[in-house]
Structure 1
Amino acid sequence: MHSTRDHYILDQYFGLRQDHHFGGIQLEIKEEHLLLADIYNIQKLLNLCIEKFVSNPDISTSMRAVTSETISEKVKLRILQKKLAKLTYHLEKERRYKSEVHEEEN
């Protein structure tokens, strides 16, 4: 069961998301919410924050999270694993596309 604190933190985060366009929430705010989700074990918020760090095309965003001294190693590992899975997916997709193009040419 979520506590009042957890609901407040989640509501605050959702309010920020509604006030900004995609990617418009400042990195410091995302990092703060990631830290709060990690400390208080708010899984829904943790998953949302991790997804925001992973989906950001700027690699320095993910690097900032995984080099942070305040975020737990478990969360850092999840970010890196998800980022790697995303990159692997896109590389495989590109390989399939190039393979199909090459087969069509022959």
Structure 2
Amino acid sequence: MAIKTLGAKAAAALDQELMSTGAFSIDQLMELAGLAVSQAVYRLQPLESGRRILVACGPGNNGGDGLVAARHLRQYGYSPSVFYPKRSKNDLYQVGLPRKSGFHCSSP
């Protein structure tokens, strides 16, 4: 199954365009990206194939997308474990996603 993707530069340009028009905030874009990732996982790795999923998150916006994806995967019935070795200091990532979402979040 082929999946369409954007390169890093194209994705950054799209994010900037969407935010500059005032149509979306960064947290709304993060929610949409995380939802899209979780839907792709659901299509490529159905629950019948296994419920355990590892989500590796860094300190940037992609890491935030990963936290959102893990939350959605949990809601679908998966058992996500989040590896989050370098946590962001940005308040947007401190809203309790790991604590409130019911998945294990670890760092070294």
Q: Same fold (TM over 0.5)?
A: no
Which TM-score band (shorter chain)?
Answer: 0.3 to 0.5
Instruction: Point out the structure with the larger helix share.
Output: 1
Instruction: Point out the structure with the larger strand share.
Output: 2
Q: With the length of structure 1 as denominator, give the TM-score of the two structures.
A: 0.36
Of structures 1 and 2, the one with the larger relative CO (CA 8 A, separation 6+) is 2
Q: With the length of structure 2 as denominator, give the TM-score of the two structures.
A: 0.35
Higher alpha-carbon Rg: 1
